[in-house]
Amino acid sequence: MIDLHTHTFLSDGVLGPAELAQRASVAGYHALGMTDHVDGGTLEPTLTTLQRACESLCGHLPLAIIAGVEITHVPPDAIAQTVIKARDLGTNLIVMHGESPVEPVAKGTNRAAIEADIDLLAHPGLIDRAMVVRAVERGIYLELSARAGHSLGNGRLVALAREVGALNYLVVSSDAHGPDDLLTSSFRRTVCLCAGLSDKETDLVERNACALLKKVIR
Ligand SMILES: [Zn+2]
Ligand SMILES: [Zn+2]
């Protein structure tokens, strides 16, 4: 199992990086991305701490652990520079906290994120058709969220992705903030099927996660 969007207590998760990694390992994960919430001010201390934590775990657990960030509630016109700074700090996993239907994320966030050098747009909510097309052009993956609330937009995203031929860019992530949020294979499939994907398309979405992981561990 590959899950590239989770949180530790370096933002609003409840577990430290080592415990999250251990629990993910026991849950059968093959790859875990730790992507704590950051903004322009918290980016550097949070990411560098996560990077140190991941380095200290490297080789001790049977899964790939990737230190990333979830850029969160940064004003749209400051997203591009925050992404550049994150890349400069050495991360290959940049998630953007998209325009969730359950939070007052600034309008224009999805657009600004897709035009920046991110890897995954999380819970894009009321994303429109043109933005899905643009994400594909830019090679940016779009998240089907397993998290309550954020997942309200999953059905819309699947419908648009199917319409424009973007199913290859959908991935499921847990957005785990605690141990009970980590994915299981069966729940992952349930998220896909409930969003309107067929069995075959659900298999495709699982393969998409491998493609995204390859990009991230380049
Ligand atoms: Zn988020
Ligand atoms: Zn998140």
- Count CB atoms within 10 A of the CB of residue 161: 26
CA of 155 to the centre of ligand 1 (A): 17
* Rounded distance from Cα 5 to ligand 2 centre (Å): 6
The residues whose Cβ lies within 5 A of ligand 2, an ion, are 70, 175
Q: What is the pLDDT of residue 17?
A: 98
Distance 18 CA to ligand 2 centre (A): 18
Q: Which residues of the chain have pLDDT under 50?
A: none
Task: List pLDDT tens digits, range 59-86.
Answer: 999 999 999 999 999 999 999 999 999 9
User: For residue 218, what pLDDT is reported?
Assistant: 76
Q: How far apart are CA 205 and CA 203, in angstroms?
A: 5
Which ligand neighbours the alpha carbon of 35 most closely?
A: 2
pTM: 0.98
177 CA distance to ligand 2 middle (Å): 8
Residue 155 near residue 162 (C-beta atoms within 8 A): no
Q: What is the layout of strands, in order, in the sheet containing 141-145? A: 2-6, 31-38, 64-71, 94-97, 120-122, 141-145, 170-173
Distance CA 90, CA 156 (A): 34
Distance CA 139, CA 153 (A): 21
Q: Give tens-digit pLDDT for 5-41.
A: 999 999 999 999 999 999 999 999 999 999 999 999 9
